[in-house]
Structure 1
Amino acid sequence: MNPYQAPLADMRFLLEQVFDAPNTWSQLPDIAEMVDMDTANAILEEAAKISAQLIHPLNRAGDEQGVLHQDNCVITPEGYKAVYDQYSQGGWVGLCGEPEFGGMGMPKMLGVLVDEMAYSACNAFTLYGSLTAGAALCINAHGSEVLKQAYLPKLYSGEWAGAMDMTEPQAGSDLRNIRTRAVPQEDGSYAISGSKIFITGGDHDLTENVIHLVLAKLPESKGISLFLVPKITVNKDGCLGGTNGVSVGSIEHKMGLKGSATCVMNFDEAKGYLIGEPNRGLVCMFTMMNYERLAIGIQGLGSAQAAYQMATDYAKERSQGVAAGGSPTGSDSDPIIVHGDVRRMLLTIRAMTEAGRALSVFTGKQLDLAKYAQDDVKAKAARYVGLLTPVAKAFLTDRGLDATIMAQQVFGGHGYIRETGVEQLVRDTRIAQIYEGTNGIQAIDFLGRKVTGDNLATLKEFVAELKAQMREFTQVDGVKIAAVCARLDALVNVAESVNEQKLTQPALINACAVDFLDAFGYSVYGFYWLAMLDKVPSAEDQNFAEQKAYLAKFYFDKLLPKADYHLAQVRAGDVSTMAMPAELF
């Protein structure tokens, strides 16, 4: 199995040239004092080394060994703890955390690139740190000062880990039906009782404590509240106390991500602490979920990048058949890279992945502006975060799975056996379309709330900004600009039609949402390819510039037209989808 190598040139290009990170950071005082481009490059280079040399070697062995549940303890695969200790000591868990509590304070538009490298190296290992960073984010945004002081330094340092406990057997995506209860105690704490399933990183041996963020209901309340529940109690002096009524019922045996502990968690009058206001738990949790959904999108992106590298190396080495029109070397067997169908798959993976990386950096930039900017800029960025988060989660993971399957196809029969390792990428990536809200739910949220929820105001604002930027491009031809503008206009027109019909056709949004999200994704990727083409002449590496030109041409010829197909599906409406009676299925 080929070692992973981070695409540093492309990452630097996006940060410095396409999205002008140095100028963005200089205008945000909280970030400007923490990072400049030299610092960012140093972080990227170190993250690339760690991903290749420390994290990636865990991938295959961790998948084969998996996690074990013994005596109420969850044991991670061999090597995980040693690497996690090094990873934590390097400050990577708290990379984007608050400096006040020991985090490094780096911007998210840099953090997404570090996340991508780690996910490319090993999906399962990376989830532990990702959930911890997300829990810390939620505590910082909504927790009391006492909770922040007690828990954030240990989470950012990696000494403690975090987990998000939402799902119950009878309550998956519909959290109104949760049964976990929180009973107020005289000391201001709550006794938490109930069971949760599918809890990523619910328990493990990487850290000395796991801090659970648990959704539960207060007595006589239909609302949902959020509670911080440590596995081991924490004394007032910060030292660990005794067990806290938190136990592992079992671990799930899964299709993939076998090095990631997915647990059934039981809470038996465990001591917990309210985060935020009573009955406002979902509001608090979704602060974390916006970041986590982007992180899971990046899981799909990282898998696609790893799959591309594996498949490309194989295609250059594997000889099979002769090129159409005869072998260029006169050989009776050419490397399969000469074949059109293999090239179609490799170009598709790469063109989608490089545009997807641009989407992730742009979304990270909006998260930074929503957090650190002032007034109108902050408000607009928050609207864009809301618009783009379901797209980043769903489109990146859908296309990420597509990429791993295409890479497996490049390997042919050798891709189906464990020896090459590409089949693990398919298995590990599959869950990304399901957890943190299924991609169908992401699409319904996108079309039903983020697009039509404000009568297209945010969508139109976003599209107008993209078109304004395209008018400023000087290095791309007008035909490509017109092609993207036509798709963006069509998106708005179709969205207006859906908005007009949503009350009289209540199933329309649910039936058409995935196609609308995909149409948006392909159209916006077209814009990102134009943005990259406009900046690539400034790239010092001529090979890099040529690669971008070839990939962009392929994208506009072969992939952008997929937006038209998906918009046609939306225009077809929901009648044929909803017509057949349920009993006939």
Structure 2
Amino acid sequence: MLEYRAPLEEFEFLSHQVLRLNERLPLLPEHNHLDADLLKATLEAGSALLGSQLLPLNASGDASGCSLADGSVSTPAGFPAAYAQFQENGWPALTVPLAWGGQGFPATTGVFFDEMLASTNVAFSIFAKVREGVLRCVQRFGDERVRELFGAKLASGEWLGTMCLTEPQAGSDLGLIRTTARVDADGNYRLSGTKIFISNGDHDLTSNIVHLVLARTEGAPAGTGGLSLFAVTKYRLEDQQRNGVSVIGLEHKHGIRANATCSLAFEDSLAYPVGETNRGLACMFLLMNSARLAVGVQTVGLAETAYQNALRYANERHQGRALNGATHPTLPADPLTSHIGVRSTLIEHRLFIEPARLLCAWVGLLMDESACHPDEDQRKHAAQLVELMTPIIKGYLSNHSGKVISSAMQLFGGHGYIVETGMEQLVRDHAICPIYEGTNHIQSLDLLARKVLADQGRRLKSLAREMLGLAARLKRDETLAPLAGSLQRWVSELEPLMLHLAVETVFNRDVVGRASPDYMELIGTMVFGHLWTWMAEAAQTSDPDSAHTRNKVAMAELYISRANEDIPTLIKRLMREPRELDRLGRITLT
């Protein structure tokens, strides 16, 4: 069975030494009612609840899965009671703004809580988290009536929600959506169509479900420009009868088996418009981007649990002798951690997990600053960084976290492959992360085509500003000064590469499709280097002589040395993409 201990000390370090929430939160009107002690106590309380209530349900929920009978989905044993306690204790409202009836905690605290949620029970976390994105769509785009009908119920978690985009013929190409919404004799919208792969599509956790559905109104233009967004409830609000929403299938999945992934049929369902007609996709992007950030947090949580259990097993399991001589000569064999290959693997896990966690937490802070920082320039700077980092959090993190989880399972040997240890479940649960909320190739296209080339690198300049500011600070510290040159050199290479790709794309649009995965790898590597040096700086500033600081600095140096080898290779590859396209064009698939 999997074990887990929340990394509360690391949350504290990132919150106050790195991100300096104690200095930055007082500037934000939405969050200046909070202090460091309350943030810390809240995460400690959350850790205790999740560890005692949700971790024990992880394996049993995976084993039994959800079930469909008489048109309704039942979640695994223990889930309804756990959600009732989760909701009664106010956790769904943690980061909901005060004005909407929430507790108004900063997004960074929400990121740490959500990481713990994913670490203990990722299937449960999907039930819990989609709702907040639905709420934000309703509050931002809904009219007064829609906000009154759904706002309070979603804010408290009394009702959960879904996002209904995909159809049998329309996956990533939402322009192919066929679901329709017509106006009836009473002036109400009636929605009909089929949606598939809907997380939380039906369940027994709450008394109602709010589906956000993309559909076409009568006479709407073809393509994505003809999509509108609607809220459709499982049960009608006036009489609590079924609202023409039926479950036509419950998916039997490779992983996240305790979450209900459904095919839904809508038949003349009463629907409430959310936002302007034919502007549905623009509205839905708020929810989609929220979901993409949530996927990144999931990957960190899963990787953290995999690492903790691999480390525990490697300390307890004795096999063979260390190459440089026995470390435990009185025992018949040395622990696995005595072997350099095992130690190296575990260090690789930390090289990923620590900056990945900081990336999610940093973007959480930037989201809050983009919403309510008093300085307009800082709001704009923060918003540009959030836009740039969203595909990286979803794509780069889920690409690399899978490697961490897989190698953690391998450290168990044959014991990792059997069900009882829980390691193979982590591999299966993670497998969806590179796929849903837009596959990772789509994320890389979004990064290069829309977030870099389409705005002539303005968002990249926001990243460069952060990296150069850190480099300037590093130069003032003798220990860290050697790392500054790497950050400066990487920044100097960003604009020439962007201009090269922009020119090549003019002559052949396939350049973007071919180059985008390598470009995401490049920017992700640079961002991780920035984050490692940022952590090293914070540790060095707070306590230069501690073991914690020595660890952070050594890890930063190790990561930067590797990145200095990888980045030139990636840039060279990106510079020669047009020639690769010519070779690819001469190959026939059979």
Q: What is the SS of the residue equivalent to 1:93? A: helix
In structure 1, how many angstroms separate the alpha carbons of the residues matched to 2:303 and 2:569?
Answer: 23
In structure 2, how many angstroms separate the alpha carbons of the residues matched to 1:522 and 1:106?
Answer: 30
Indicate conservation of the 8 Å contact 1:245/1:269, yes or no: yes
| Structure 2 residue identity aligned to 1:491 | L
- The alpha-carbon distance between structure 1 residues 582 and 271, as it changes in their structure 2 partners (threshold 3 A), is farther
- The alpha-carbon distance between structure 1 residues 55 and 566, as it changes in their structure 2 partners (threshold 3 A), is farther
Indicate conservation of the 8 Å contact 2:30/2:98, yes or no: no
1:544 has 2:535 as partner: no
Q: What is the SS of the residue equivalent to 2:327? A: coil
1:23 is aligned to 23
Give how far 1:584 is off. Answer: 2.9
| Structure 2 residue identity aligned to 1:506 | R
Q: What is the SS of the residue equivalent to 1:234? A: coil
- The alpha-carbon distance between structure 1 residues 360 and 560, as it changes in their structure 2 partners (threshold 3 A), is farther
1:396 is aligned to 397
Give how far 1:4 is off. Answer: 0.9
Structure 1 segment 119-268 matched on structure 2, within 5 A: 119-222=118-221, 223-235=226-238, 241-268=240-267
Q: What is the SS of the residue equivalent to 1:121? A: helix
- The alpha-carbon distance between structure 1 residues 502 and 514, as it changes in their structure 2 partners (threshold 3 A), is same
Give how far 1:565 is off. Answer: 3.2
1:283 is aligned to 282
- The alpha-carbon distance between structure 1 residues 145 and 560, as it changes in their structure 2 partners (threshold 3 A), is farther
* Equivalent position to 2:517, from 514, 517, 523: 514
2:507 is aligned to 504
* Equivalent position to 1:584, from 570, 585, 589: 589
2:438 is aligned to 437
Give per-residue Cα distances to partners, 1:211-234, cap 9 Å, x unaligned. 000000011112100000000011
Q: What is the SS of the residue equivalent to 2:93? A: coil
Give how far 1:543 is off. Answer: 3.6
Indicate conservation of the 8 Å contact 1:144/1:275, yes or no: yes
- The alpha-carbon distance between structure 1 residues 39 and 101, as it changes in their structure 2 partners (threshold 3 A), is same
Q: Which runs of 5+ in 1 are unaligned?
A: none
Q: What is the SS of the residue equivalent to 1:369? A: helix
Q: Which runs of 5+ in 2 are unaligned?
A: none
In structure 1, how many angstroms separate the alpha carbons of the residues matched to 2:167 and 2:395?
Answer: 23
Q: What is the SS of the residue equivalent to 1:481? A: helix
Q: What is the SS of the residue equivalent to 1:57? A: helix
Give how far 1:326 is off. Answer: 1.2
**Residue range with higher mean Cα deviation, 322-331 or 487-496:** 487-496
In structure 2, how many angstroms separate the alpha carbons of the residues matched to 1:188 and 1:470?
Answer: 60
Q: What is the SS of the residue equivalent to 1:213? A: strand
- The alpha-carbon distance between structure 1 residues 292 and 415, as it changes in their structure 2 partners (threshold 3 A), is same
* Equivalent position to 1:526, from 526, 529, 532: 529
Q: Count residues with an aligned counterpart.
A: 580
Indicate conservation of the 8 Å contact 1:115/1:298, yes or no: yes
- The alpha-carbon distance between structure 1 residues 580 and 504, as it changes in their structure 2 partners (threshold 3 A), is closer
**Residue range with higher mean Cα deviation, 251-260 or 468-477:** 468-477
Indicate conservation of the 8 Å contact 1:347/1:554, yes or no: no
Give per-residue Cα distances to partners, 1:371-407, cap 9 Å, x unaligned. 1124222222221111111111111111111110110
| Structure 2 residue identity aligned to 1:84 | Y
Give per-residue Cα distances to partners, 1:339-366, cap 9 Å, x unaligned. 1221121111111110111111111111
Give per-residue Cα distances to partners, 1:475-509, cap 9 Å, x unaligned. 44222221232223223332221122211121011
- The alpha-carbon distance between structure 1 residues 157 and 546, as it changes in their structure 2 partners (threshold 3 A), is same
1:293 is aligned to 292
Give how far 1:442 is off. Answer: 0.5
Indicate conservation of the 8 Å contact 1:487/1:564, yes or no: no
2:485 is aligned to 482
Give how far 1:540 is off. Answer: 9.7
| Structure 2 residue identity aligned to 1:379 | K
| Structure 2 residue identity aligned to 1:535 | A
In structure 1, how many angstroms separate the alpha carbons of the residues matched to 2:256 and 2:481?
Answer: 45
In structure 1, how many angstroms separate the alpha carbons of the residues matched to 2:516 and 2:193?
Answer: 34
Root-mean-square deviation over aligned CA pairs: 1.7
**Residue range with higher mean Cα deviation, 495-504 or 441-450:** 495-504
In structure 2, how many angstroms separate the alpha carbons of the residues matched to 1:377 and 1:317?
Answer: 49
Give how far 1:187 is off. Answer: 3.7
Give how far 1:563 is off. Answer: 3.1
In structure 2, how many angstroms separate the alpha carbons of the residues matched to 1:563 and 1:85?
Answer: 49
| Structure 2 residue identity aligned to 1:566 | L
Percent of aligned pairs with the same amino acid: 36
Indicate conservation of the 8 Å contact 2:164/2:212, yes or no: yes
| Structure 1 residue identity aligned to 2:65 | G
Give how far 1:464 is off. Answer: 2.5
Length-normalised TM-score, structure 1: 0.96
| Structure 2 residue identity aligned to 1:338 | S
Q: What is the SS of the residue equivalent to 1:226? A: strand
1:7 is aligned to 7
In structure 1, how many angstroms separate the alpha carbons of the residues matched to 2:80 and 2:240?
Answer: 22
1:554 has 2:555 as partner: no
- The alpha-carbon distance between structure 1 residues 258 and 370, as it changes in their structure 2 partners (threshold 3 A), is same
Structure 1 segment 363-512 matched on structure 2, within 5 A: 363-374=363-374, 375-473=376-474, 474-475=476-477, 476-512=479-515
Indicate conservation of the 8 Å contact 1:491/1:567, yes or no: no
Q: What is the SS of the residue equivalent to 2:61? A: helix
Q: What is the SS of the residue equivalent to 1:196? A: strand
Give per-residue Cα distances to partners, 1:413-436, cap 9 Å, x unaligned. 211111211111010011010000
Indicate conservation of the 8 Å contact 1:522/1:560, yes or no: no
